[in-house]
Homo-oligomer: A and B are copies of this chain.
């Protein structure tokens, strides 16, 4: 994982030494704080790796990578408000540490910083970069809205759920990778394959998240195991279990949802979802997306050794303990 780690450090170093203006302090202090909370910096690393496929030096890909990372953090800041999340990466969220208004506005200004990065490319690549980024940013907003809508929706299909995670999280991975192809002045086909690789990988990763929430080793999992089922969150796992149970008039999933939010509920869910075959079906869906991602990467016209870091990163992402 040397390449991933090296590129991650390079991004981390750049982000943490990035100079936001001093004033107004209430606008920029929250960004200085938030941007140094860490994170895996996977998205900007994808841009650097994709650029490297076409011999774009990492220094040249850097602004595009920062654009992605700033946008990602902007969306986290605003999502944290909407989710009323008190904590992010073990630290108070901006709206908790400052207030809602400051979180809205510092998010907005970080969004402009993302776009600002693209002005580093004042040539024929700017138009496709801007266009791709705009489409992606809109889709991320749409995905977040779908996610909020699902909270109160009576019925959500598995297809709609996957469309939601595609928009909310996966298209940004696709954009991060497509940026590398645009920087390398590649064909529409190459751009599409790289974007597709990112989107399929992102969906697989997100589905894995659903599984990990219930079946991860509590010792290794960063957050509380079973959080999703305690809040009856409509994950792909629950939606699949509901479909399988309904097909047999099996009332157990409906009963599960009425159980009090405690350890017993988590244990019941774990056994029930296995028994219904939901876990296997969801794993199958996850693996299908992962395979599609790898197929897109394989089809890509670039030297095998240059694709190696992207293969490694994919394995690293999908190799969380399950």
Residues in A lying within 8 Å of B, measured CB to CB = 21, 23-24, 26-27, 78, 81-82, 100-102, 104-105, 108-109, 111-113, 115-116, 118-119, 122, 126-127, 130-131, 134, 137-138, 141-142, 144-146, 148-149
- For the complex of A and B, 4 pairs with smallest distance between CB atoms: A122-B127, A27-B145, A109-B141, A24-B145
Q: Contact at B101–A148, with CB atoms within 8 Å?
A: yes
Query: Of B27, B108, B130, B141, which contacts A118 at CB under 8 A?
Result: B130
- Given A82-B101, A104-B104, A146-B24, decide whether A119 and B127 contact each other with a Cβ distance below 8 A: yes
Pairs across A and B, CB under 8 Å, 25 listed:
A21-B142, A24-B145, A24-B146, A24-B149, A26-B148, A27-B142, A78-B104, A78-B108, A82-B101, A101-B148, A105-B141, A105-B145, A105-B148, A108-B141, A109-B142, A111-B111, A113-B138, A115-B115, A115-B134, A116-B134, A119-B127, A119-B131, A119-B134, A122-B127, A126-B126
Q: Contact at A105–B82, with CB atoms within 8 Å?
A: yes
Query: Of B23, B81, B127, B142, which contacts A104 at CB under 8 A?
Result: B81
In the complex, which of the residues A21, A82, A104 has the most CB atoms of chain B within 10 Å of its own CB atom? A104
Q: How far is the CA of A176 from the CA of B143 in the complex (A)?
A: 32
Query: Of B24, B78, B130, B146, which contacts A115 at CB under 8 A?
Result: B130
Contacts of A101 in B (CB 8 A): 81-82, 148
Q: How far is the CA of A117 from the CA of B37 in the complex (A)?
A: 34
Contacts of A105 in B (CB 8 A): 78, 82, 141, 144-145, 148
Contacts of A21 in B (CB 8 A): 142
CB-CB nearest in chain B for A83: B101
Q: How far is the CA of A113 from the CA of B101 in the complex (A)?
A: 22
Contacts of A113 in B (CB 8 A): 138
- Given A78-B105, A145-B26, decide whether A112 and B130 contact each other with a Cβ distance below 8 A: no
